[in-house]
Amino acid sequence: MKNIIKEAAKQNNVSVKEVHREIGAAIDEGMKCTDPYAIEFWKQFGGKKPTVEQFLKALSACVSSEISKA
C-alpha cells in the first residue's frame, strides 16, 4: 500500500502526507454515507475509522470482488 500512496503523491505532485490527509478526509465523508452498500462496507471496521492502509486494502478487496462478479 505504501507504494500506491507514494505513486499517487508523485503523480499529483503532492507529498505522501497530503495523500494521507486527502484519503483520510474521504474516509470521514464516506463513513457518513447512508447508502446501504456503503453502510455494509464500513461495518467491517467495527464502527472505528480505519487507517488509510486498512481502507485501501478493504477497498481493493471490494473492487476485486465486484470485478470477479462481472
Is 80 exceeded by the pLDDT of residue 70?
no
Confidence of residue 1 (pLDDT cuts 50, 70, 90): confident
Q: Taking a C-beta distance cutoff of 8 angstroms, is the pair 19, 9 a contact?
A: yes
Tell me how far CA of residue 62 lies from CA of 10, 21, 55, in angstroms: 25, 22, 10
Confidence of residue 66 (pLDDT cuts 50, 70, 90): confident
pTM of the predicted structure, to 2 decimals: 0.86
The residue ranking higher by pLDDT, 26 or 2, is 26
Instruction: State residue 68's pLDDT score.
Output: 86
